[in-house]
């Protein structure tokens, strides 16, 4: 029994490590630290510090604009050209209308 449990725990550990490691390795940071757009999701960006990428999301209703020079690069969708980055995060709203649902990923 303990061998089965040990094998199961090792398997779960490997899955967790591949998932957590996969997020930061999914984006290769350029040499310069900064915030960089995701290739598919318009409200997602990557924060690169010393070569390590961390995924970030703009607040609900905002999208990432790589052309903004300020630290906060999230802006209203009508001000940003998302191009091929058509996916969006799920809304965190609690006030859904009856029958309204979110799907992942949403499209612009």
| pLDDT tens over the chain, length 108 residues | 577 665 655 556 555 444 444 444 579 999 999 999 999 999 999 999 999 999 999 999 999 999 998 888 999 999 999 999 999 988 765 655 544 444 445 565
Which one is the CATH code of 2-91: 3.40.50, 2.170.140, 2.40.50, 1.10.10?
A: 2.170.140
CA angle, residues 41, 62, 35, in degrees to nearest 5:
60
Can you give the residue ranges of every domain in the chain? Answer: 2-91
CB within 8 A of 85, min separation 6: which ones?
Answer: 37, 38, 39, 40, 41, 42
In whole angstroms, what is the distance from residue 99 CA to residue 108 CA?
Answer: 20
pLDDT value at residue 67: 94
Token output for 55 = 């995924």
pLDDT value at residue 70: 86
In whole angstroms, what is the distance from residue 19 CA to residue 80 CA?
Answer: 31
């Amino acid at each position: 029994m303990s061998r089965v449990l040990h094998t199961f725990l090792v398997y779960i550990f490997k899955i967790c490590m591949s998932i957590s490691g996969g997020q930061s390795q999914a984006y290769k940071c350029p040499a310069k630290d900064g915030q960089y757009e995701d290739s598919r999701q318009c409200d997602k960006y990557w924060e690169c510090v010393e070569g390590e990428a961390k995924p970030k999301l703009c607040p609900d209703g905002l999208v990432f604009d790589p052309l903004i020079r300020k630290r906060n690069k999230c802006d209203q969708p009508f001000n940003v050209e998302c191009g091929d980055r058509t996916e969006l995060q799920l809304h965190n709203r609690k006030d859904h209308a009856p029958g309204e649902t979110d799907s992942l990923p949403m499209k612009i």
